[in-house]
Amino acid sequence: CHFCLVVGIKAVWKWDVWCQLQPKVGTCSAEENFYYNAQLDACQSFIFSGCDGNKNNFPTLVDCERHCKGSAFMAMKETEKTPFCDLQPNAGLCMTLIQRYYYDINENECKVFLYGGCGGNQNRFKTHSQCMERCTEEK
C-alpha cells in the first residue's frame, strides 16, 4: 500500500493525504462519482472514467463525506511518500493573493492559482518551469 502505514498485518489508511488529492478522471468509460474539495471542505461530483483513479474517489456523496469531511482543517503529515504534485491546489489561510503554479494531474500541465501567502501544501511553485520540472520528472 503506497500511502499506508503497516501495523502488524493491518494497513492504516492515510485519509489526511488521500482526501487532498486532485480527483483523477482516469481512462475508461464515464460515471458520476464524488471527490473531496479541500478548498471548500465539501464533496463534489465529477465524471470518473472507471479506471486509473486515486483514493479521492467515492461512489456516493455519503461515502465521501464520511471519509473526508473536515479533513481540510487537519494537518497533513508530509512524508517522503506524499505525492505532492497530485495534491489539490491549496490557497492557504492568509489573504495576500500571490500568483503561483500547481500541477494538474489530469492535464499533465502546470496552471496558475492564487496563493494566500501562508499554509497550503507543497503543490505550489513560483514559476511554471519549476512546477513542470519537479512534477513531470516524478511521473
Adjacent-strand bridge partners of 102: 111
- Mean pLDDT calculated for residue range 83-93: 91
C-alpha cell at 50: 472507471
Residue that is written with C-alpha cell 483514493 in the block: 55
Domains present along the chain, CATH in parentheses: 5-73 (4.10.410.10), 84-138 (4.10.410.10)
At 77, the pLDDT band (50, 70, 90 cuts) reads: low
**C-alpha span between 126 and 59 (Å, rounded):** 36
Higher-confidence residue: 27 or 91? 91
Task: Report whether 76 contacts 83 (CB < 8 A).
Answer: no
pTM: 0.66
Q: Give the start-end residues of each E strand in 29-129.
A: 31-37, 42-48, 98-104, 109-115
| Percent over 90 (pLDDT), the chain | 50
Contacting residues for 3 by C-beta, under 8 A, at least 6 apart: 13, 14, 17, 18, 55, 81, 82, 83
